[in-house]
Structure 1
Amino acid sequence: MASRNSSQNGRAPQRRRGHERVATLLSAASDCFVAKGYDATTMTEIAAKAEASIGSLYQFFPTKEALAEALLHQHAEALYARMERLLAQTPGWTTEELATRLLRTFADYRRQQPAYVVLVEAAQTLPSMLGRTIRQRMRDYLCQILAIHAPDIAAGDLRPAATVVQQLMKSAVALHGEQPVALRQAAQTQLQRALTLYLHDLAGTRESTRTYA
């Protein structure tokens, strides 16, 4: 992945020292984006945070957009790794467990990685197609997970179903900031109920739905 850290004609690191320098620059950029936001952060501030020369920063990342893209690549790979683990564990989970895990995926990652939230918002104004690529890749994982959970689902229904699940996962993120806490918790419970029932419906099972009656 290190070879992708320097994009938009930036020089790719060749040696260990270069890889370490790039990692330091990316970490500094992440901290600055969280502290000031993407638009307000300058390349000069990022170089100062990394204790590097501005020339060294531009050598690897000619633009702030290149830095954002490199960081998004890192976060994308981390999200893919989480989805790989979900995919491997899906056969052993009940429908309720699968619903819980899916709803936590985006919300937990965004809470643990505040820079990702900033970058996702910035990605809407960046020319890169990376944001769309990440969404489609996540949807691919959901298709595989749903195919395991609901093996009899028609092939033509799989991707629309994955899209619905993806939107419900995003809803869990939106609810995270809902106030008061009691309302948020009640809404999260209702959202989990909705996803559980939907997954039951996809799998053509009804044995556990009585729990939610």
Structure 2
Amino acid sequence: MIDAHTRRARRKDARPSELLSAALDLFVEKGYAATRVEEVASLAGVSKGTLFLYFPSKEELFKAVVREHISGHFASWSEEIEHFEGSSQDMLRDCLKSWWENIGATKASGIPKLMMSEARNFPELGAFYQQEVIQPGSALIARILQRGITRGEFRPMDLKYGVYMVMAPLLFLAMWTHSLDACCGPQARIEPDKYLAAQLDMLLYGFGAGHPPQAPANLSNSE
């Protein structure tokens, strides 16, 4: 039989995870500015003082949420890319699938929407998100695209904007899921599997080695 001391120790060990889960729920539901640490503590079933034992500020709590639910995946994804043996098309397909399963289909997909709407008011968080999520995530996608180019599976491209072309549909899906999809009924609903399959088809058609390279038009010079 587990004694009271052991139960308290287990409860203490679980608190950081419980606090991060509660914080994710509230940040996604209310946004960063409107979420109060007292609410996070209450939802997690602890006092505000207990929360501050683990996370000294709301900013540090938010950073921990991002690391736990988003950037914490990057190391394993990097390892998968390093040892992937299939085609670069299959690698890109796995990339979209893994993003959806680990982030898009979870409550963590509300974090990109939060950053898009609030980063300007909290530039220090915007800089953190850029360094912790955008840059390493972009680097992983760039590795996939460069692999495809090197192997002759993708045509040469400007990698910076190739990365954006992969990221943009994922960001759109996350924002749509936490905005219009949640309030406009079935007619506004996007089926993620079909959407990502369509996006992958468009990406591979555009990246395909069988299409002649052509520099994209510079819109700023168009007449």
- Partner residue of 1:191 out of 192, 199, 204: 199
Q: How does 1:105-120 map to 2 (within 5 A)?
A: 105-118=98-111, 120=113
Contact between 2:19 and 2:44, CA under 8 Å: does it hold in 1? yes
Residue aligning to 1:102: 95
Q: How many angstroms does 1:43 deviate by?
A: 1.5
Q: How many angstroms does 1:54 deviate by?
A: 1.6
Residue aligning to 2:37: 43
Q: How many angstroms does 1:68 deviate by?
A: 0.9
C-alpha separation between the residues in 1 aligned to 2:71 and 2:191? Answer: 34
Q: Structure 1's 175 and 82: CA in aligned 2 closer, same or farther, altered over 3 A?
A: farther
Q: How does 1:1-213 map to 2 (within 5 A)?
A: 20-34=14-28, 36-81=30-75, 83-84=77-78, 86-88=80-82, 90-93=84-87, 95=89, 97-118=90-111, 120-122=113-115, 124=119, 125-126=121-122, 127-128=124-125, 129-133=127-131, 134-151=133-150, 157-173=158-174, 177=181, 179=187, 189-200=197-208, 204-205=209-210
Q: How many angstroms does 1:145 deviate by?
A: 1.3
Q: What whole-Å deviation, never above 9, does each CA across 1:144-167 have from its counterpart, x for those lacking one? A: 112222216899833332233222
Q: How many angstroms does 1:104 deviate by?
A: 3.2
Contact between 2:146 and 2:159, CA under 8 Å: does it hold in 1? yes
C-alpha separation between the residues in 2 aligned to 1:59 and 1:155? Answer: 51
Q: How many angstroms does 1:99 deviate by?
A: 4.3
Contact between 1:175 and 1:187, CA under 8 Å: does it hold in 2? no
Quick check: 131-140 or 156-165, which moved more? 156-165
Contact between 2:69 and 2:108, CA under 8 Å: does it hold in 1? no
Q: How many angstroms does 1:115 deviate by?
A: 3.7
Q: Structure 1's 150 and 179: CA in aligned 2 closer, same or farther, altered over 3 A?
A: farther
Superposition TM-score, scaled by structure 1 size: 0.66
C-alpha separation between the residues in 2 aligned to 1:145 and 1:32? Answer: 34
Q: Structure 1's 67 and 137: CA in aligned 2 closer, same or farther, altered over 3 A?
A: same
Contact between 1:26 and 1:71, CA under 8 Å: does it hold in 2? yes
Residue aligning to 1:12: none
Work out the number of aligned pairs and report it: 188
Q: How many angstroms does 1:64 deviate by?
A: 1.8
User: What stretches of structure 1 of length at least 5 have no aligned partner?
Assistant: 1-14, 207-213
C-alpha separation between the residues in 2 aligned to 1:31 and 1:183? Answer: 23
C-alpha separation between the residues in 2 aligned to 1:144 and 1:94? Answer: 10
User: What stretches of structure 2 of length at least 5 have no aligned partner?
Assistant: 1-8, 212-223
Q: How many angstroms does 1:182 deviate by?
A: 8.3
Percent identity over the alignment is 22
C-alpha separation between the residues in 1 aligned to 2:15 and 2:174? Answer: 33
Contact between 1:33 and 1:41, CA under 8 Å: does it hold in 2? yes
Q: For 2:45, what is the secondary structure of its paired residue?
A: coil
Contact between 2:104 and 2:174, CA under 8 Å: does it hold in 1? no
